[in-house]
Amino acid sequence: MAEIVIRNLCKQFGAFTAVRSSSFKIEDGEFFMLLGPSGCGKTTTLRMIAGLELPTSGEIWIDGEEVGQKPASERDIAFVFQMFALYPHMNVRRNISYPLVSQGMPRSQVRARVGEIARILGIEGILDRPVGGLSGGDRQRVALGRAIVRNPKAFMMDEPLGALDAEFREHMSQELRALHDRMGATTVYVTHDQLEAMQMGDKIVVMNHGVVEQFGTPRDIYDKPATMFVADFIGSPAMNFLHFHGAVRPGADRVSVHHQALPIPAAREAFEGDIVYGVRPEFIRLSDSAGYRGRVRAAEYLGTTQIVTIETPNGEAKARIPSDQPARPGDMVGLAFEGATVTLFDAQSGRALRSELNEGVLAHG
């Protein structure tokens, strides 16, 4: 098992830059998520760590060794592909034993090891079946078996649940997480599904356009987004952005938005210009006494809660409120904000302004 350190990693394909100057650190035994929209460079980053692509520049350290230019076969890592990539001309047993055969392990030992892995994954019954007729879940388990059989330093997983249907994905993600907790292996997991990343990851890197936008625990990334992109990408519905022009002084705990003083966590930097007031839907309450008002446009009923879309003077906002609270389209309502959870952004650059809430996160981010 190993710690993985990425330093200033860059990858260019011709004139196209897939990854630009990424740096982050994956602790030993961590379940680490690379999250971002498609084309953001997360898969390229994973493939560089695995050795399937060579970086244009930068360093990759696995277990204290710089492996950036080494071939995949010498890195001692395992890779689970989205389409599983089980060798179609071999049966399950041979698929799982293939990495051991390449090491020249004696036949009897291979057999014992494959049996042990099959027991862990619950696939003893299908060992002698061809891989062609297996269900998606069993293919996934065989692919995992082939990955863990060798006790590699780390696991790379490229959207391993992407090919499964939604119902089964839930089940498999729990199985994966349980397997990880049991083996304690460093795992790097690529996904575009923010829910999956939040559910399973110890840490998340959010990437966009080849750049690391933020790196931290799921809670930090959700509560203290470093950029507007992260705030928008994580959470469903996404964080609300109320655009206004104004100024904020260090120590202030209010900002003036549309003639109303809205609460913020104590500011730690001065800023003047176009600002975005970012607040998550669950931290907006409808309150008749509130001065900041808007008109209800729609309400989506979700069982215990409802999502109410409100037209405000500074743009559209969605609030998640209890479903027993009345909110009819056309109503004028007052909006109250949970000030301690708010993040202000520089509208131009998308960068979060430092405050009491996020200064700890932004300092090392």
Partner 1 sequence: MSGYSITEPTPRQKWIAGTLVVLYALITILPLLWIIATGFKSPADAIAYPPKVVFDPTLEGYVNLFTTRSRATPEALEAMGPPETWYDGIVRQYGMVISGPSRYGERFLNSVVIGFGSTFLSVFLGTLAAYAFSRFKVPLKDDLLFFILSTRMMPPIAVAIPIFLMFRTLGLSDTHLGMILLYTAVNISLAVWLLKGFIDEIPREYEEAALIDGYTRFQAFYKVVLPQAATGIASTAIFCLIFAWNEYAFAVLLTSGQAQTAPPFIPTIIGVGKDWPAVAAGATLFLLPVMVFTILLRKHLLRGITFGAVRK
Burial of 155 (0-12, 13-18, 19+ CB in 10 A): buried
Which CB atom, from 155 or from 241, has the smaller least distance to partner 1?
155
Q: Say if CB 352 and CB 358 are below 8 A apart.
A: yes
**Count of residues that interact with partner 1, criterion CB under 8 A:** 21
In angstroms, what is the minimal distance from the CB of 98 to partner 1?
A: 5
Stretch that binds partner 1, among 82-90, 198-206, 244-252, 287-295 (CB under 8 A): 82-90
Query: Applying CB under 8 A, does 261 fall inside the site for partner 1?
Result: no
Q: Say if CB 312 and CB 292 are below 8 A apart.
A: yes
Q: Which of 19, 77, 239, 319 binds partner 1 (CB under 8 A)?
A: 77
Question: Whole-angstrom Cα distance, residue 238 to residue 151?
Answer: 39
Query: Applying CB under 8 A, does 249 fall inside the site for partner 1?
Result: no
CA distances in angstroms from 131 to 125, 142, 144, 170, listed in the order given: 13, 9, 14, 23
Question: Whole-angstrom Cα distance, residue 215 to residue 225?
Answer: 10
Query: Applying CB under 8 A, does 163 fall inside the site for partner 1?
Result: no
Q: Say if CB 30 and CB 187 are below 8 A apart.
A: yes
Q: Which of 5, 85, 238, 266 binds partner 1 (CB under 8 A)?
A: 85
Q: Say if CB 29 and CB 186 are below 8 A apart.
A: yes
Question: Whole-angstrom Cα distance, residue 211 to residue 97?
Answer: 38
Stretch that binds partner 1, among 85-93, 175-183, 321-329, 351-359 (CB under 8 A): 85-93
127-146 footprint of partner 1 as x/- string (CB under 8 A): -------------------x
Query: Applying CB under 8 A, does 50 fall inside the site for partner 1?
Result: yes
Q: Say if CB 196 and CB 86 are below 8 A apart.
A: no
In angstroms, what is the minimal distance from the CB of 108 to partner 1?
A: 20
Query: Applying CB under 8 A, does 99 fall inside the site for partner 1?
Result: yes
Query: Applying CB under 8 A, does 195 fall inside the site for partner 1?
Result: no
Q: Which of 27, 57, 83, 291 binds partner 1 (CB under 8 A)?
A: 83
Alpha helices in the chain, H assignment, sequence order: 42-50, 92-102, 107-121, 136-148, 166-183, 194-200, 218-223, 228-233, 359-364
Query: Applying CB under 8 A, does 73 fall inside the site for partner 1?
Result: yes
Q: Which residues sit at the interface with partner 1, rule CB under 8 A? A: 50-52, 71-73, 77-79, 81, 83, 85, 87-89, 98-99, 102-103, 146, 150
